[in-house]
Amino acid sequence: MAVSGYNEETAFVDIFSLDIDSNSHENPLLSSQPTCCSVQSLESYEIRPCVCFLNDDLLIKSFRNAIILYDCKSGQVIKETTLNKQPTCMTTRDDCIYVSFGNLNIDKKVFVFDNRLNKIRTITLRGLIDNDYPIDFTVNEDQIFCTTHFGKGLLFNASGDVEKRYKHAFFNALSVTFNEVTGLVVILWGKRDHDRVVSVYLPSRGDYLATFNVPLYSVKIRINSNINKFFVVTKETGEVYEYDTRDIFTFDDLLTCLSSLIAPEDQSKLNRYFEVQQDNKRWFLRSSDLQDMYEHLRKTGRLSAEELMAACNHAGLSEAVEVIYVYQKMHNPGVIGKRKAMPHGEQQHNEHVETTERERQQLKERHNAAKQEKQELVEELNNSEVQMVTDRLQVTQERLQKTEADNIQLTQSKEEMLKELGGSKKSLKVTKDELAKYQLKFAKESMALEEVLKHTRADMYKSLSPVSAHEESFPEERESLDLSRGSSLAADYGRLMVGIAENLTLDITLRLATLFGLPPAEADMLRRVSFLETPGITLLNFMKTRNIINMYDLTNLQKGLILLQMNRINENLIVPYQSKIDPFHFEENQAPKLLDWPTDDYQASPFAEERPVSSQESEERDTSEQQHDKRVYEKGQMT
């Protein structure tokens, strides 16, 4: 065992021989005998030298900014490497040396050297805050357990990222070590001049399993997994204390740890396994069921780690099983660890080492040959890949050129088709406009013919009825005169109705319906029929049915249009038609009932300009006209 220290005059490393009794491993290893050797530096030192064993014979130590490989048996320096900074903590693992530079390590890096002090790689510890740096660490495979200047206990992975933070409520982390046999992390905690404690952790858990008091001013802790011992060294007094690792994690500590790990719903499973009756009066106490179970097992003689392991396995409590397994490995004498080789086996051990060294050299040569062969294969593969990529690139370029030519041809064809399509659209639009004109003209003629047909049919019925004696004296002349005049007037009346309906929007139609006192049902029908045909035609039919207007008198319609300021309809349509019916003398029963509306309040003359039409009314009128033209055309087709 090597212990490093310093005072105002010198820095030193003392090497102790441990007295291992092969018959009893309970005896202490440290004795009061003086050290077997001591390595001193004549210069004063401000930082404790770092020291660790590379193997049974080789010692790694640091002085100032140098790392020295030292042979313990011969006392000779094998190799020395000078660094730019002064190491503050150092450890070894698998013939590799891990070095950190503490407060001088601005980048918070850990440097890795081989057993010949050649630098291999660098690990950057991420997750440390500013001005924080490692003060002690140990390595297990690809894990780095570290304590920092600010009292943090951390676990880093091989990439330097923080995987776990170990906690203690009242102390700061001072030193850390790892037990390879039990898989436990052991951390020394302290706070200035307060007590020091050693806490045991599972690597995957941040809360400690057990705690153990150690002397005041303890600053470093190290554990030897082979002999199941750990050692603590103090700062002020320079004393080294030896402890058995089984004293850290006792059976009582195991029971306490299980009480914190097992949830209340899992406690009932253990009670059923051990056939322990629960006390329902103490349900509010978290560990009351476990305490009853412990007491029951203690009375029946079943309180042991083996029984608890079986119960937790049966209940599926993986964390509790892991803790019990660690306890068993720590306290089972069969797994205490390897023993130091006896003197008569040293020759056999040396021969085995030499054989291993030769095999290692052979493996190294084979590795170099395989590496060279790999390099040749890589070069050949690269050449093949380059040729293959070149061929593929040439083929791809040819395909690309062909595709570009096809795209140009398609673009030209597309432009020609678009031009043809544009011309077709223009001709189609002209054809549609002409067709709409013919449809409107045809609809008007159809409406006029319908009115003529109705009038002719009515005149024929009249001609068949009894007539007066005066009419009997001139029957043929009167009938021919009435038929010719009536047919012409009916045709004009039908065209007039279509023309008026074209100029009536849905809004004007509803206002006229209200003005003429049509029932709400008919007004609602106008709204619904507007989706199928021009609502003006339906309104005029309602007005003819109620004798508000007829072929011989449109006075009521004129008055309504004047009130709504639709004077252009009167001027352009009704007035020319009215001039045709004024010369006729129709019977009194053919005149509709005139509606008495006050027209004096309107300043506009009967033929004044119409009021401005809003955009909404204009859109409604256009839509109504289009729908009307379509319906009139369909109606003409049906006729």
pTM: 0.51
CA distance 346 to 358: 19
- pLDDT: which is higher, 617 or 436: 436
Are 563 and 599 in contact, with CB atoms under 8 Å apart? yes
C-alpha dihedral, 571 to 575 to 576 to 577, nearest 10°:
130
Selection from 328-332, 418-422, 519-523, 568-572 with the highest mean pLDDT: 418-422
Per-residue pLDDT at 87 exceeds 60: yes
CATH code of residue 186:
2.120.10.30
Q: Where are the alpha helices (DSSP H) in 465-502?
A: 469-473, 475-502
| Of 248, 283, 298, the domain-final residue | 248
Taking a C-beta distance cutoff of 8 angstroms, is the pair 69, 79 a contact?
A: yes
Q: What is the distance between the alpha carbons of residues 51 and 87, in angstroms, rounded to a whole number?
A: 10
Tell me: do 238 and 259 sit in the same domain: no
Mark whether 94 and 108 lie in a shared domain: yes
Q: Is residue 323 part of a domain?
A: yes
Same domain, 275 and 137: no
> Do residues 253 and 212 make contact, with C-beta atoms less than 8 angstroms apart?
no
Residues 53, 2 contacting (CB under 8 angstroms): yes
The rounded distance, in Å, linking the Cα atoms of 432 and 418 is 20
CA-to-CA distance for 269 and 264, rounded, in angstroms? 9
Q: 271 and 201 in one domain?
A: no
Three-state SS string over 103-170 comes to: HHCCCCEEEEECCCCCEEEEEECCCCCCCCCEEEEEEECCEEEEEECCCCEEEECCCCCEEEEECCCC
pLDDT range class, residue 285, cuts 50, 70, 90: very low
Number of structural domains, the chain?
Answer: 3
CB atoms within 10 A of CB 216: 14
**Euclidean distance between CA atoms 301 and 293, whole angstroms:** 12
Residue that finishes a domain, picked among 309, 335, 361 = 335
- Mean of the per-residue pLDDT values for the chain? 76
Whether 234 maps to a domain, the answer reads yes
Burial of 208 per CB tally in 10 Å (0-12, 13-18, 19+)? buried
Distance CA 83, CA 97 (A): 14
**Judgement on whether residues 146 and 26 belong to the same structural domain of the protein:** yes
pLDDT greater than 60 at residue 624: no
- Looking at residue 350, its pLDDT comes to 58
3-state SS, one letter per residue, for 43-105: CCCCCCCCEEECCCCEEEEEECCEEEEEECCCCCEEEEEECCCCCCEEEEECCEEEEECHHHC
The C-alpha atoms of residue 175 and residue 199 are separated, in whole angstroms, by 11
**Is residue 158, in this structure, part of any structural domain at all?**
yes
Same domain, 149 and 282: no
Residue 203 carries which DSSP code? T
Q: Is the pLDDT confidence value at 589 over 70? A: no
Q: Confidence band (pLDDT; 50, 70, 90) for 631?
A: low
Residue 417 pLDDT class (50, 70, 90 cuts) = very high
Higher model confidence: residue 143 or residue 620? 143
The verdict on 582 and 487 lying in the same domain is yes
Q: H-helix or E-strand containing 224?
A: strand 218-224
Give the confidence band of 592 by pLDDT, cuts at 50, 70, 90. low
Tens-place pLDDT, residues 554-580:
888 888 888 888 888 878 888 888 777
Q: How confident is the model at residue 440 (pLDDT cuts 50, 70, 90)?
A: low
Neighbour tally for 168: CB within 10 Å: 19
pLDDT of residue 404: 92
80-89, 274-283, 550-559: least confidently modelled range: 274-283
25 and 118 housed in the same domain? yes
437 found inside a domain:
no
Write the pLDDT tens digit of every residue in 26-75: 666 666 554 556 666 545 556 678 888 888 788 888 877 888 888 877 87
Domain that holds residue 277: 254-335
Helices (H) and strands (E) in the chain, counts: 15, 22
Shared domain check, 279 and 209: no
At 556 the pLDDT is: 83
Per-residue pLDDT, averaged over 209-230, amounts to: 85
270 in the same domain as 211: no
439 lies in a domain? no
Residue 425 placed within a domain? no
Q: Which residues contact 63 (CB under 8 A, 6 or more apart)?
A: 11, 41, 45, 49
Which DSSP string do the residues of 267-320 spell out, in sequence order?
HHHHHHHHT----GGGTTSTTHHHHHHHHHHHHHT--SHHHHHHHHHHHT-HHH
Q: Which residue, among 428, 446, 383, has the nearest Cα to 638 in the 3D structure?
A: 446
Instruction: Name the domain boundary from 248, 277, 298.
Output: 248
Question: Considering the domain boundaries, does residue 403 fall inside one?
Answer: no
DSSP state of 344: G
387's CB contacts (< 8 A; 6+ apart) are: none
Tell whether 288 and 145 lie within a shared domain.
no
* 379 in any annotated domain: no
Sort residue 447 into left (φ over 0), alpha (ψ -120 to 50) or beta. Answer: alpha
Look up residue 300 and give its two tokens: 């029946």
| Helices 305-315, 318-331: crossing angle, 10 deg rounding | 160
Are 230 and 270 within one domain? no
Instruction: Give the 3-state secondary structure percentages of the chain, helix then strand then coil, rounded to 5.
Output: 50, 20, 30
- Could you give the 3-state DSSP secondary structure of residue 549? coil
Mean pLDDT within 332-349: 45
Share of residues in the chain with pLDDT > 90 (%) = 13
The Cα angle at residue 631 between residues 507 and 625, in degrees rounded to 5: 40
Please give the torsion angle defined by the CA atoms of residues 501, 502, 508 and 511, in that order, rounded to the nearest 10 degrees: 10
d(CA 265, CA 262): 8
